[in-house]
Structure 1
Amino acid sequence: MKRVSQITLIFTLLVTVIVSQFAYNATFANAETDRLDLKAEAAILLDAKTGRILYEKNPDTVLGVASMSKMMTEYILLESIKEGKISWDQNVKINEYVHKLSAAPGLSNVGLTQGENYTVRELYEAMAIFSGNAATVALAELISGSEKNFVGTMEKKAKELGMKDFNFVNSSGLNNKSLMGQHPAGGPEEENVMTARDTAILAFRLLNDFPEVLETTKISKLKFKDGREYPNFNWMLPGLIFEYEGVDGLKTGSTDFAGYGFTATAERNGQRFISVVMKSTSKDERFNDTTKLLDYAFSNFGKEEILPASYKPKKVKTLKVNKGKEKEVKIETKEPIELVIQNGEKNQFEPVVVLDKSKLDQDGNLTAPIKKGEKIGYVTVQSKKGDFGFLTKDGQKLASTNLVASESVEKANWFVLSMRAIGGFFGDVWDGVSSMVKGWF
């Protein structure tokens, strides 16, 4: 009976340990998520340079994205200009459909006159600053021939960017029922959908691939060719209602289905963050939640040097070298590793050494000759307490540095290699004889 009680006690302790470990891993995100008390249904916050995630709330819930999906249209347009497919001063003649859509009541638009020419830049500014829906359709038709074709381009580009949970049915983010009977894709009442994570990926790639987008998104008021001024819906820009120091983008969005969303970016003292909030219940709420996220970022996170340049891994200071004049080589990191981390948590990160297997023989040794500075792997860092990781695999690479040979090792000549082989042979013989003699006694 006593033995059964002991076994029961041991089993109970094991279960407790296992459950506790799972609970620790599972509650890390919950503890961080509860900290800010956001009202939005989903949110995410990241370092704009590496994509290191600093906060998340329901990041993989698929929600309506509304006009934030115009960031995809912006990306494709900027890419088309870079590749020379279209130009900023190229004229776009407005057709009857785009003209009527620009005059539709209740939609965000600048008036576009049928038969009149507008430059790509004028339409782009109308889209990026005032969220002009008809201007967006005109650009989509220019790039792909039709909005239907453009939706296919959006889907393809999303996959290329690494997005996973999305569906595009038009270029603007409107509900299809608002498109006056035109349905580029999907059903008559469908909308574009994405997750907060995918929205962040889109914003991250837009900012890093085309940083010039900020020259437009930071404009508080659009002065259009019709002589009118149109305010930016990003009310956190300078001079607007929710002005926030450092905000210079990126895109708002709202429909009945999507609620109110906002993808923001802000920079102070060389440090930039990106935040996304989705399905807020009011215009004010999306800006209040964004303020909480950015306050949290600027108050609690900063760039730190986690590992210095020429760092020599404590557990792997040298590697054995086959066929070299020296039998081993010292290794070190080429560049420092810098990360945006929570203040005071530098000691929570530890180095992880990853060797290039193609450089190693079957015994795990390098083979001479080896040049000083030759890459033989890389070093990254990981948090001891757990974290949200990175938005993309490329971001993870930015949190690593090459591991290189800190000295050269020339290949030994045939005589040295022969002597080593002979020495090895007689060493094996001597070991065999010694073992045999020991066996006699």
Structure 2
Amino acid sequence: MNKLFYRKLFASSLAMIMFFSLFSGMNKAEAETAGLDVNASAAILVDADTGMILYEKNSETALGIASMTKMMTEYLFLEAVKEGKAKWDQEYLISPELSKMSHDNSLSNVFLRVDAKYKAKDLYSAMAIESANAATIAIAEMVGGSEAKFVEMMNKKAEELGLEKYKFVNSTGLNNRDMLKHFPEVIGDPDEENIMSAKDVAILASRLLKDFPEVLETSSDPERIFAEGTEDAFKMDNWNWMLEGYEKLAADYPNYQQFVYKGLDGLKTGSTPFAGSNFTGTASRDGQRFISVVMNTSSQTERFRETRKILDFAFNNFTKEEVIPKHYQVKEKKSLPVTKGKDDQVKIYTKDAVNMVVKNGEKDNFKTVLTLDKKKINKQGELTAPIKKGEKVGTLTIQPKEAEKLGFLTEKGQNHITVDVIAAEDVEKSNWFVLMMRGIGGFFGDLWGGISSTVKGWFK
């Protein structure tokens, strides 16, 4: 009898502990999507256009990123091309160290011959598709002059992009001990790896897509020939098994077809014993693009299963809606008082519409907050004429009714839910005579009001 009682007590206590441990520390985005159970140490889902966070789990915890590192290497290379500091057709001479590393079968690579020259476009595609590590270091040396200088550039760029929880020690995402097999010196500790938070990975992916959309031209390619037309030609298969093109290879790779995802065209996988299996995915359907990140999943296949789960949640539950139409007027503030004008009121409305990603059925769960420009409003809350039609008088911001604010990857994301409020019409300034007569009328009105109050006081 007592044993049964204690067993029930223990079981119920354990259930309570598990329940509270599951929901403790969860932020609003996690709590609202608690039904989305993602098997990863960290994860995040964002709207690619605005950076609005739609789901997150431990998104600010720094973890190993493995070859997702190469997104930063891609960013810096594409930036160098844009600035004219690198060219797609420029050639790079392979050192003995890089050649030796490229023949390390324990690492992802394409073979590079010593003292041979390879075009930047081939090295880049090897990095993006095959996740080739020696080719990645070649890109780093090409852009930075050396691996060490390139790593400095990586950390500096991370700061410029507003990342907060990160550390780069190499350009590839390998553990430093794998680097030490081929290079006598490494940056940081001998067993160190690159780390980032899921949120920072999403910020990097978002900037990569916005600043260099051409990145998708390579990341979306399920297979490509490295150094095509040369004796080093090599068929590369993308590590991203979710690409639609893999359907053509289903006979040779039966596992691929179960992961193929409509509209998915990037972005980068990563895997080491320290980092686990990671994936930054992005997919677009009907003009709506999402970015997802899963970190430290248990296997290569699980990272794709969990990504599918997250993206299904996104496409099935969120749509872009017009929350505020153009020329919208706040009910309590459809006009503002005007001083020194021919009219004593001016209508105001929003300059543009506000479109944002909204969870299905929750369009009405938002409110508007009007903020008037203090520099244009006097102490009496009046605008001063003259006023031009289209002149900005304040802003209108969308906020959830039951929370402080919506979550975005960066503070700039708030700009996507904020719209200018402008004057709907011209208000000319009154001439000096009218202003003088108003002043006289005001004076006598105040005087008469004072006399009336005094007389009334006599008869109280």
Q: Which residue of 1 aligns with 2:164?
A: 164
Q: Deviations over 1:176-232 (max 9, x none)?
A: 111134444211111110100000000011111111111110000121112221111
| Separation of aligned partners in 2, 1:202 and 1:273 | 14
| Separation of aligned partners in 1, 2:328 and 2:60 | 37
| Separation of aligned partners in 1, 2:201 and 2:41 | 14
Moved over 6 A (4+): 23-27
The partner residue of 1:410 within 418, 421, 428 is: 428
Tell me, what secondary structure is at the counterpart of 1:124? helix
Contact 1:170 1:183 (8 Å CA) reproduced: no
- One-letter code of the match for 2:219? T
Q: Which residue of 2 aligns with 1:223?
A: 225
The partner residue of 1:423 within 429, 438, 441 is: 441
Contact 2:338 2:384 (8 Å CA) reproduced: yes
| Separation of aligned partners in 1, 2:351 and 2:48 | 24
Shift of 1:322: 2.4
Q: Which residue of 2 aligns with 1:351?
A: 368
Residue 325 (str. 1) matches residue 331 (str. 2): no
- How is 1:62-101 mapped onto 2 (pairs within 5 angstroms)? 62-101=62-101
Percent identical: 56
Shift of 1:33: 4.5
Shift of 1:366: 1.9
Q: Which residue of 2 aligns with 1:43?
A: 43
Contact 1:147 1:184 (8 Å CA) reproduced: no
Tell me, what secondary structure is at the counterpart of 1:432? helix
- How is 1:92-131 mapped onto 2 (pairs within 5 angstroms)? 92-131=92-131
Contact 2:163 2:200 (8 Å CA) reproduced: yes
- One-letter code of the match for 1:399? I
Q: Deviations over 1:349-371 (max 9, x none)?
A: 11121222232234432222111
| Separation of aligned partners in 2, 1:112 and 1:308 | 57
Tell me, what secondary structure is at the counterpart of 1:112? coil
Shift of 1:30: 4.2
- How is 1:145-294 mapped onto 2 (pairs within 5 angstroms)? 145-180=145-180, 181-225=183-227, 226-240=232-246, 241=256, 242-294=259-311
Contact 1:169 1:183 (8 Å CA) reproduced: no
| Separation of aligned partners in 1, 2:374 and 2:213 | 37
Shift of 1:308: 0.7
Tell me, what secondary structure is at the counterpart of 1:122? helix
CA gap of 1:80–1:357, structure 2 versus 1, over 3 A, is farther
Residue 435 (str. 1) matches residue 453 (str. 2): yes
| Separation of aligned partners in 2, 1:28 and 1:391 | 14
| Separation of aligned partners in 2, 1:129 and 1:49 | 25
| Separation of aligned partners in 2, 1:77 and 1:283 | 27
CA gap of 1:95–1:357, structure 2 versus 1, over 3 A, is farther
Would you say how many aligned residue pairs link Structure 1 and Structure 2? Answer: 419
| Separation of aligned partners in 1, 2:24 and 2:340 | 48
Structure 2 gap ranges (5+): 1-22, 247-255
- One-letter code of the match for 2:197? T
**Comparing 37-46 with 114-123, which one deviates more in the overlay?**
114-123
TM-align CA RMSD: 1.8
| Separation of aligned partners in 1, 2:385 and 2:24 | 46
Q: Deviations over 1:243-284 (max 9, x none)?
A: 111110000001111001100000111111100000101111
Tell me, what secondary structure is at the counterpart of 1:253? strand
- One-letter code of the match for 1:43? A
Tell me, what secondary structure is at the counterpart of 2:208? helix
| Separation of aligned partners in 2, 1:158 and 1:437 | 75
Q: Which residue of 2 aligns with 1:300?
A: 317
Shift of 1:238: 1.5
| Separation of aligned partners in 2, 1:131 and 1:100 | 17
| Separation of aligned partners in 1, 2:109 and 2:293 | 24
| Separation of aligned partners in 2, 1:434 and 1:122 | 91
Shift of 1:24: 12
| Separation of aligned partners in 1, 2:239 and 2:192 | 23
- One-letter code of the match for 2:412? D
CA gap of 1:298–1:30, structure 2 versus 1, over 3 A, is closer
Structure 1 gap ranges (5+): 1-22
Contact 2:151 2:170 (8 Å CA) reproduced: yes
**Comparing 224-233 with 427-436, which one deviates more in the overlay?**
427-436
- One-letter code of the match for 2:213? P
| Separation of aligned partners in 2, 1:403 and 1:353 | 8
Shift of 1:159: 1.3
| Separation of aligned partners in 2, 1:175 and 1:26 | 31
Tell me, what secondary structure is at the counterpart of 2:35? helix
CA gap of 1:376–1:24, structure 2 versus 1, over 3 A, is farther
Q: Which residue of 2 aligns with 1:312?
A: 329
| Separation of aligned partners in 2, 1:302 and 1:37 | 21
Contact 2:65 2:278 (8 Å CA) reproduced: yes
- One-letter code of the match for 1:415? F
